[in-house]
Amino acid sequence: MRSLLRRVINTHHLSVLQSKIGSSSLISSFSNLGPGSSDAMQAPVKINGRRMMETIHSTCEFGKAHRYGEHETETGMARLALNDDDKKVREWLIQQVKAVGCSVTIDQMGNIFAVRPGRNKTAPPVMMGSHLDTQPTGGRYDGILGVLAALEALRTIHESGYQTEGPIGLVNWTNEEGARFPMVTVSSGVWADVVPLETAWNCREVASLSQGSELKTMKQELARIGFLGETPASYKAFPIGAHFELHIEQGPILENEEQNIGVVTAAQAYSWFEITVKGQDCHAGTTPLSARRDPLLAAAKMIAASNQIAKTASGLITTGIFQATPGSINTMAHTIKFTMDIRHPQDEQVSSMVQQCHEAFEKIATEGSERGVEVSWETLTENVAVKFHPDCISAVESAAEAESRYGINPATGEASEPVPISTSDDVEMAMAAAQKASMTWRKVPFEERRRSLLAFCNAIESHRDEFASLLTREQGKPISLARLEVTNALRWLRAFTECDLQDTTIKEDEHRKIVCRYTPLGVSVGIIPWNYPFALACAKLGPAVLAGNPMIMKPSPFTPYTCLKLSELAQDFFPPGVVQALSGDDRLGPWLTSHPIPEKISFTGSTVTGKKVMKAAASTMKRVTLELGGNDPAIICADVDIEHTAKKVTNLSFLNSGQICLAIKRIYVHESIHEQFLEAMVKHVKTLKVGEGNGEGVFMGPVQNSMQYERVNGFLESAKTENWTIATPSTTVNDRPGYFINPTIIDRPADNSRIVTEEPFGPIIPLLTWTHEDDVIRRANDTRMGLGASVWSRNLKQAERISRNLEAGTVWINSHFDLDPSVPYGGHKESGMGLELGMDGLLAFCNKQFLYLDKSR
């Protein structure tokens, strides 16, 4: 998992806990983690993320599923507190925690405490968890992530045979969302002695979410489902040493900044209110506007005023419930009720916003055009801001940073060797070294630079088996494909050495001579993706150093090892500072692309990130080469050899588990041969062996990382919810660890479905049909991507005619992803900018200079 770390203020949950937990931290309970030993662990215990996600998805049986959008993330799970579904998931959870050696305590608020003993049985437990109840919509990952991540941590420790120094456990807090019973964090509040027990017990459910005709209290529902425990709901009866919660972000802040983990440092202060505005009901047709006392219009202005107050204070004010009585279409309401949730990191700012809202609402009620209405407030719940304990913050920071220090073998899910995380100081030192090297390396004659690169190629050749083995281990691809990647990388490097950067005379007469010459750009940065980490590192490193530029490579944090090894090997063939590699987390890329020293950025990756690279480079007008995403179409004409073509197209679709920018992503087969072609593809898919890369006969390894695994699984989820036809056998591989997904063909999905319009970058592909040539060309071009395309036909004139109308940087006829090392490639539209490989790839690292020589003097 990539990190890092951006400190954020949590707007949700656990604001009442911190004042009642001790100063012990996660480190204290885990410092002597080991199988009966007092020695500290030397390697991290890794959570089985795949199993955790499968567990989360499996709990969807306890609740009502709903869809509110088109994408895989736009599904939810409704499981309101203390309803029958909540009862079932609670009973299931208790079975799970008992299976991993936990004792279970249920207190008077129905809070579930599951504790696994440590060596020090008297120490207060370190607890992890959150809540199983949800909002009425959107609760698929919310609180349950914190509960089930804690369960997976307990499973991992139990299965590994480790014993912690102190007790550790899981907690599920009741009605933390405050959705059914309108008191947020009510049960943890009772435990912390912030909310009186009787107040919580007597809290009645929200009318709109009522489970019956009578509004039930929390105590009634706790008793009904059998979770009204006898243990006092108090930190005095059940003390906790520290509490940690993994929580899904409920806004797009981290996603927009492409950060995966945020460390919460505080919980905001908040106050909940129900506001009642009363006016005079009247008939819509007989009451003139001047005679109306309209509470709805007044309430609308109050909500608008509260929004402006929140903006000014840099706070948050939200109206979640709005009710009009009597609710007739041609009658003005006499009463409006609406709620307000007012939040800010500082207590005094919440008080100030509340006061400003009081004043603004009174003014609207008494002085505006709606004068004559009455406004009243009822306080529902209040909570002060809480800063989390520094020990807890540092423990989470350390854990997140440690996670980024180990690559993960995607075939096993096991941690690999530690990888250094570059700091901003490391970046400065690398830039200084590269800048110093640039002054001398640019002056080295081209022929000498060529000899250095060729000698480097020979050294790679002698280590090719080591590089291939490392590739299979860190990237997951079959060893045969890893060897091919090393072979192709050498072909690319050697092809560069066959290029020349000679001065060219543009024009010459008796008066003057005009010469075009090529000079180095300067320090260059190469950002390498995780799908072909060795070959694409070479594709950037080779032309950069040959043209006279130092190169700083940044490998993907998912696949750092081959690039680091490549840089290490290069030190024997290039002067200090000419070839460097920096491994790091999510901060490293922006540090490199925004730094003033580099003159060139060569980036391969997603279009979203490519745009950010381009924006960062613009600040100092760096040259950029961007090789970005693709959605390559393959158009299959009616006259093809079906068996032969289907086999080739299938292989090219699922090569490297579909994780190739230039792989086939959409197949358009002529309607007249659709059934036979699909049958031939499915027949061949069944012969493709999926497994660990070193296994005999393996064609396809795992998806490279957990994030991509979840993305591809999202497409498979869409296949179920949108009723796509899956033409291939079982799509998931459950009999082994790792991120394995079987090759999957989706038969004739709609043209506007996600599987057609987006790039899955995994082993799943749509098969569509076509009849008319103009139509298939239009559909093939109907994308913002334009990296590659192919046409398959025995009629070369027809194939070339179609090819010349496709909007892509590279188009093949009767093949695909068949790159020649001397020929450049690049994307059209949002698939990129600039070219790689060949002479154009070399010139991308050069300045072109025109030298005018005057002969008249």
Amino acid at 581: A
Please check whether residue 144 is in contact with residue 177, taking contact to mean a CB–CB distance below 8 angstroms: no
CA distance 605 to 807: 20
SS (H, E, C) 266-305: EECEEEEEEEEEECCCEECCCCCHHHCCCHHHHHHHHHHH
pLDDT (tens digit, 9 = 90+) per residue, 511-532?
A: 999 999 999 999 999 999 999 9
CA distance 573 to 579: 9
Cis peptide before 148 (omega within 30 of 0): no
Q: Which residue has the higher pLDDT, 62 or 238?
A: 238
Residue 743's φ and ψ, nearest 5 degrees, are: -60, 135
- How confident is the model over 375-383, as a mean pLDDT? 90
Cβ-based neighbours of 277, under 8 Å, separated by 6 or more: 295, 296, 298, 299, 302, 335, 336, 337, 338, 365, 373, 374, 375
- How confident is the model over 198-208, as a mean pLDDT? 89
**Which region among 50-54, 207-211, 709-713 has the lowest average model confidence (pLDDT)?**
207-211
CA distance 248 to 259: 13
pLDDT (tens digit, 9 = 90+) per residue, 580-589?
A: 999 998 889 9
User: What domains can you pick out in the chain, each with its CATH number?
Assistant: 16-37+46-250 (3.40.630.10), 269-384 (3.30.70.360), 414-627 (3.40.605.10), 632-830 (3.40.309.10)
pTM: 0.67
Residue 15 clears pLDDT 90, i.e. is over it: no
Residue 598 clears pLDDT 80, i.e. is over it: yes
Calculate helix-pair angle for 533-546, 479-497, nearest 10 degrees: 10
- Closest Cα to residue 326, out of 336, 341, 318? 336
Amino acid at 633: P
- How confident is the model over 809-824, as a mean pLDDT? 97
The β-bridge relationship of strands 386-387 and 406-408 is: unpaired
Cis peptide before 4 (omega within 30 of 0): yes
pLDDT (tens digit, 9 = 90+) per residue, 59-79?
A: 888 887 655 455 544 556 788
- How confident is the model over 208-220, as a mean pLDDT? 82
pLDDT (tens digit, 9 = 90+) per residue, 274-293?
A: 999 999 988 888 888 888 88
Q: Distance from first CA to last CA of the chain, Å, rounded? A: 66
- Our CA angle for 194, 199, 202, nearest 5°, is 150
**Which region among 126-130, 157-161, 196-200, 252-256 has the lowest average model confidence (pLDDT)?**
252-256
The β-bridge relationship of strands 744-747 and 764-770 is: parallel
Please check whether residue 315 is in contact with residue 356, taking contact to mean a CB–CB distance below 8 angstroms: no
Mean pLDDT across the chain? 89
CA distance 214 to 198: 20
The β-bridge relationship of strands 524-527 and 512-520 is: unpaired
Residue 392 clears pLDDT 70, i.e. is over it: yes
Please check whether residue 259 is in contact with residue 586, taking contact to mean a CB–CB distance below 8 angstroms: yes
Q: How many residues does the chain have?
A: 857
Edge to edge, the sheet with strand 262-267 lists 6-10, 262-267, 386-387
Active site residues: 627, 661
- Closest Cα to residue 231, out of 91, 112, 150, 94? 112
- How confident is the model over 603-614, as a mean pLDDT? 96
CA distance 717 to 218: 36
- How confident is the model over 536-553, as a mean pLDDT? 98
Torsion of CA 133, 138, 142, 147, to 10 degrees: 40
pLDDT (tens digit, 9 = 90+) per residue, 296-355?
A: 999 999 999 999 999 999 999 999 899 999 988 999 999 999 999 999 999 999 999 999
pLDDT (tens digit, 9 = 90+) per residue, 118-127?
A: 999 889 999 9
Question: Alpha helix (H) ranges present in 161-217?
Answer: 186-191, 197-201
Q: Which H or E run includes 296? A: helix 295-313
Where residue 405 falls (left for φ over 0; alpha for ψ -120 to 50; beta otherwise) is alpha
CA distance 593 to 318: 38
Residue 162 clears pLDDT 90, i.e. is over it: no
CA distance 395 to 245: 12
User: What is the pLDDT, as a whole number, of residue 407?
Assistant: 82
Please check whether residue 128 is in contact with residue 150, taking contact to mean a CB–CB distance below 8 angstroms: yes
Edge to edge, the sheet with strand 551-554 lists 579-581, 551-554, 524-527, 600-604, 623-627, 832-833
Residue 19 binned pLDDT confidence (cut-offs 50, 70, 90) = very low
- Closest Cα to residue 1, out of 47, 59, 64, 51? 47
Residue 459 clears pLDDT 90, i.e. is over it: yes
Cis peptide before 326 (omega within 30 of 0): yes
Please check whether residue 15 is in contact with residue 410, taking contact to mean a CB–CB distance below 8 angstroms: no
- Closest Cα to residue 154, out of 48, 69, 53? 48
Please check whether residue 651 is in contact with residue 481, taking contact to mean a CB–CB distance below 8 angstroms: no
- How confident is the model over 481-510, as a mean pLDDT? 96
Q: Which H or E run includes 50? A: helix 49-58
CA distance 588 to 4: 10
CB atoms closer than 10 angstroms to residue 637: 22
Q: Which residue has the higher pLDDT, 579 or 250?
A: 579
